[in-house]
Amino acid sequence: MKKVLILGGGFGGAYTAMHLEKQLRKAKEPFEIAIVNRENYFVFQPMLAEVVGGSLGILDTINPLRKLLPKTNLYVREVDSIDIEQGKVFLAPKYSHAPYEVFFDHLVFALGTVTDFRGMSGIHEHALPFKNLADSIAIRNQIIDVLEAAANETRPKLKEKLLTFVVGGGGFSGTEVVAEVNDLVRKQAKKYPSIDPKQIKVYLIHSKDRLMDKEMPESLGSYAGKLLAKRGVEIRFNTHLKTATPEEAVLDTGERIPCKTVISTVPSSPNPLIEPLPLNLQKGKVVTDAGMQVDGHSNLWALGDCAATPNLEEGGLCPPTAQFAIRQAKVLAHNIAASLSVGKKKEFRFKALGMMGALGHQSAVAELFGKFKFSGLLAWMMWRAIYWAKLPGVDRKVKVALSWMLDTMIPIEAVQIKMAPTQGIAQLHFEPDEIIFHEGDIGDYLYIIVDGEVEVFSGKGKEEKTIAKLGKGEYFGEMALLNQKSRLATVRCLTAVDVLALKKSDFGVLISNFQELRKDFEKTQETRRREID
C-alpha cells in the first residue's frame, strides 16, 4: 500500500489530508495517509488575536486533528531530518532517545514558516512573538501580570514601565494584536483603583508609512491608523524596532521606550528543515509547478507558506494566506490521487477573494474582490461572519458563536493561565545500572555529571568495550551533537548519578556564541574518538 506523508498540520497540511480522505472513497487502489505535526490540534490562525483580548477562549480556535482526520495516522512529533533519496523522515525522539523513522511514497511539504529573529539581537531574548496559540496565551498572561504588579507599585518609573506596551510590526498580525492589547489593557485597568488610565501607553512600531501596507489599499490602511490613534495607540511610522532589553524597547531612530512588555511580529522565514534539502528553492521556499509538484520530483509536493507556487490567475507567486492554502490543498490532494492511480492532474487557479483585518472594539477593515471596501462595524460583522463560516467542525462553530454571544453580556475576566516554564537545563537522576542512552540513539542532549560515576562503552554483551569512566564535573554526549549523528557508544550508570541535561538546540546556541568553548568540545571529541577507534 502506498503511503502519503504530510509534514505540517496547518491550513495546507490539514486540508490536504481532509481532501485525501475523500479521495480514498473513490480510489481504485487504497493508500495510507499520515501527517506529522508538533501539536495534536489544528489552529484557526485568523482568530488568535481574539484569544489575546479574551473574546475567545483558549480552546475555541483549535480542532483536534484526530477528530478532523479520522482516516489519517497522526504523529505528534518534531521533524528531525528528511531523507528524500531513501524516502523516509526522521522524527525527533520522544520518551526515549531512539530515532523514529517514517517511510513515504509521496511526501507533502506543508511546514509553513517560522519566526525569524536572525540579525535582531535582543528581540529573541526579550520580545514576545505572536505566531501560535502558545504565543497568544503568553502575551495575555504577560499583560495581566504587569497590570497586577502595577496595581501595587509605588515607584513611579517602574509603574510607568509596567503600563507601557510596545508592538513591533504594523502588518496584519501587528495591527490586530495591538488592537486587542490596547482594548484589553484599557478595559482591565478600570478594575484597578490605583491605576490611572492616563498612565497607560501602547505603541505600534511600523517600518512603512501606513499600516497593513502590503495587504490593504491605502485608504483602509490609513483608516486603521487613524482609528487606533483615536483609541490611544501611539504609532511610529517609518521606524524599526531595533532591539529590546529587560527595561526598554530601542528604535532605530535612537528613541528608547521604557517598558516591560515588547511584542514582536517580525517577518517569518521558511522552515529551516527545507534549506539543506537537494531541492530547487526560491528565497527558501520549495519551487513547484502549478499542480504543487516539486520541481524535478514526481513524488514530492509542497503548498502554502513554504512553497513557491505560480499564481496563474494574477501572475507571480501565490501569496502565503489561508484562502490560497485551503484551495491549493484540494488541487494537491486530487493530483496525488491521480499519481497513485490513473487520472489527469489539475493546475491550481484561484483569484484572491479579498482581505480582512480586525481592529478590536467591534471594528475592522475589509476589501472584497479588489473592488469593494468596508470599514468600521460593518466590516467587523463581515469579518466575524466569514471566518466563523470557515471554521472547520460544527461543534467549533457552536462554541465560537456562544463565546461571542456571551462576550456581549459578561465582562472579560483577567485570569492568567500559568504553565510550568520549560527548563533550558533539566536536572535528571539515574540509579545504578540504568542506561542513559544507547549506541545508535539520536543525539538530543549534552550531559554534565553533578554527582556519581558512569561507564562509556561500545558493543553489546560479551563484546562490550569500555571506552571511559566519567565522574563529577565531566560531560558526555557532545560527539553526536557536534556531528549531527547518532550516538557512537552507550552510557551506563555505575552508581546513582545526578546530571544536568542541555538540549541540542541550547547546546547549538552555546557553542555558536563561544568559539573557545566549541574548541574545547571538539578537542575532547577527538580524544574520545581515538579511544573508540
| pLDDT digits 0-9 by tens, 62-71 | 899 999 999 9
From 483, 387, 497, select the one nearest 453 (Cα to Cα): 497
Phi, psi of 299 (to 5 degrees): -120, 15
243 lies in a domain? yes
Partners of residue 7 on adjacent β-strands: 36, 109
Torsion of CA 89, 94, 96, 100, to 10 degrees: -10
Please say if the pLDDT value at position 82 is more than 70: yes
Expressed in percent and rounded to 5, the helix, strand and coil fractions of the chain are 35, 30, 40
Same domain, 443 and 520: yes
Residue found under cell 517514517? 102
Same domain, 339 and 362: no
**What is the longest distance spanned by two Cα atoms in the chain?**
78
- Span 305-326, mean pLDDT? 91
3-state secondary structure of 276: coil
pLDDT in tens, 215-258: 888 899 999 999 999 999 999 999 999 989 889 999 999 999 99
- Span 372-378, mean pLDDT? 91
Q: Any residues with CB less than 8 A from the CB of 22 and at least 6 apart, and which? A: 333
Same domain, 157 and 249: yes
Query: What is the number of domains present in the chain?
Result: 3
Q: Which three cell numbers stand for residue 527?
A: 580524544
For residue 299, the model assigns a pLDDT of 95
For the chain, what percent of residues have pLDDT higher than 70?
96
49 lies in a domain? no
Same domain, 247 and 362: yes
3-state secondary structure of 398: helix
- Span 387-411, mean pLDDT? 84
Same domain, 274 and 301: yes
Q: Return the sign of the alpha-carbon dihedral for residues 29, 34, 35, 36.
A: negative
Q: Any residues with CB less than 8 A from the CB of 266 and at least 6 apart, and which? A: 115, 116, 117, 120, 123, 129, 168, 169
Same domain, 364 and 222: yes
52 lies in a domain? no
- Span 382-398, mean pLDDT? 89
Helix (H) or strand (E) holding 380: helix 377-390
Question: What CATH number is attached to the domain comprising 462?
Answer: 2.60.120.10
Which residues form the domain of 175?
Answer: 123-266+355-407
Confidence of residue 30 (pLDDT cuts 50, 70, 90): confident
The CA distances from residue 293 to 186, 278, 439, 454, 509, in Å, are 49, 15, 38, 50, 35
Mean pLDDT for the chain?
A: 90
CB 110 within 8 A of CB 326: no
Same domain, 206 and 345: no
Residue found under cell 513515504? 104
Please say if the pLDDT value at position 424 is more than 90: no
524 lies in a domain? yes
58 lies in a domain? no
Same domain, 86 and 17: yes
Question: What CATH number is attached to the domain comprising 378?
Answer: 3.50.50.100
Same domain, 327 and 370: no
Partners of residue 73 on adjacent β-strands: 34
417 lies in a domain? no
312 lies in a domain? yes
For residue 462, the model assigns a pLDDT of 67
Same domain, 320 and 455: no
Same domain, 12 and 105: yes
- Span 352-357, mean pLDDT? 88
Residue found under cell 531513501? 86
Same domain, 251 and 390: yes
- Which residue would you say has higher pLDDT here, 479 or 29? 479
Please say if the pLDDT value at position 205 is more than 90: yes
Q: Return the sign of the alpha-carbon dihedral for residues 367, 372, 376, 378.
A: negative
- Single out the residue in 352, 373, 395 at which a domain terminates: 352
How far apart CA 494 and CA 453 sit, in angstroms, is 6
65 lies in a domain? no
CB 286 within 8 A of CB 274: yes
